[in-house]
Amino acid sequence: MARPVTLFSGQWADLPLDTLAQKVSEWGFDGLELACWGDHFEVDKALENDSYVQSRWDILNKYGLKCFAISTHLVGQCVCDNPIDERHESILPSRLWGDGDPEGVRQRCAEEVKNTARAAAKFGVPVVNGFTGSKIWHVLAMFPPVPPEMIEAGYQDFADRWNPILDVFDEVGVKYALEVHPSEIAYDFWTTKRTLEAVDHREAFGINFDPSHLYWQLIDPTAFVYEFADRIYHMHVKEAIRNLDGRNGILGSHLFFGDHRRGWDFVSPGRGGVPFERVFRALNDIGYDGPLSIEWEDNGMNRDQGAPEAVAMVRRLELTPSDVAFDAAFAAE
């Protein structure tokens, strides 16, 4: 049976949920992955009022849509980040930003992620996707020389802050799926291994697999699937393109998305270089049966054109696993 195809609502949070749900249904999606910003899924309201939770399902049911995960990328980012600055103020509600004291922001955001687990359980979804932030992302270039103790302290800081959060996820029976992504504690193959080790491979913590971030870093996303098979709790269908012409590099050159001088950029799924058919085959091999959630980002394309095109691409390339070997007919009885 084909996996459900959903749309991550984060890039559509300017639209009321009812408006987005109608569009998504008309485009042929099976459901929505609800972002915890805009009016799509508000954690504080979900915990305060049972009728709010029902109102989200009423909208989804109205358009025949399902939901398998909610996402707290923006709040999760602020749990471990150092420094905390005006970038974080721009992505947080005032109740979490408060007076902007960095440690206060981190603590309030940690409590909010705990509450997101509780709200997810109340809503009836098994996975919360998001970011973690990182105390050591800013030392990526490793110069001035970085003492090994500083790197270890970064992973320890992650473990110290996230283990109490994951305790709540265990309590309510929900899992947290980190989107392996630049600026997070895990952003590539080796940092993912180190991150899982830091929390002793506890089951509550896994991966929201997004091949686009691996592709532009020149990492094979299918190898990543096989290596971390038991930790892939959710999947984002997001696309990237590389434009390495001898002048452009993969670090982005402090150029904003959409600038033709960038060495890589996000584009609508199917219009870049991610080998989605290979990725889907690998997901079949490891037994992943969760949603394929399209995260649509393309500054050069209208999203109302891109989203329906993306769902058609996924339907075309996704493969239902075979229950018989193709050469079985040749076998002697």
Kind plus residue range of the DSSP H or E element containing 277 = helix 276-286
The domain limits of the chain are 5-330
Tokens of 141: 């270039």
Total-model pTM: 0.96
d(CA 61, CA 46): 17
d(CA 164, CA 108): 13
* 5-330 topology per CATH: TIM Barrel (3.20.20)
One digit per residue, the tens of pLDDT, for the chain of length 333 reads 589 999 999 999 999 999 999 999 999 999 999 999 999 999 999 999 999 999 999 999 999 999 999 999 999 999 999 999 999 999 999 999 999 999 999 999 999 999 999 999 999 999 999 999 999 999 999 999 999 999 999 999 999 999 999 999 999 999 999 999 999 999 999 999 999 999 999 999 999 999 999 999 999 999 999 999 999 999 999 999 999 999 999 999 999 999 999 999 999 999 999 999 999 999 999 999 999 999 999 999 999 999 999 999 999 998 887 777 777 777 766
d(CA 106, CA 252): 28
- Residues sharing a CB contact under 8 Å with residue 113, sequence separation 6 or more, in sequence order: 72, 75, 76, 79, 128, 130, 165, 176
Handedness of CA 29, 33, 38, 41 (dihedral sign): positive
Tokens of 82: 């150092």
- Residues sharing a CB contact under 8 Å with residue 316, sequence separation 6 or more, in sequence order: none
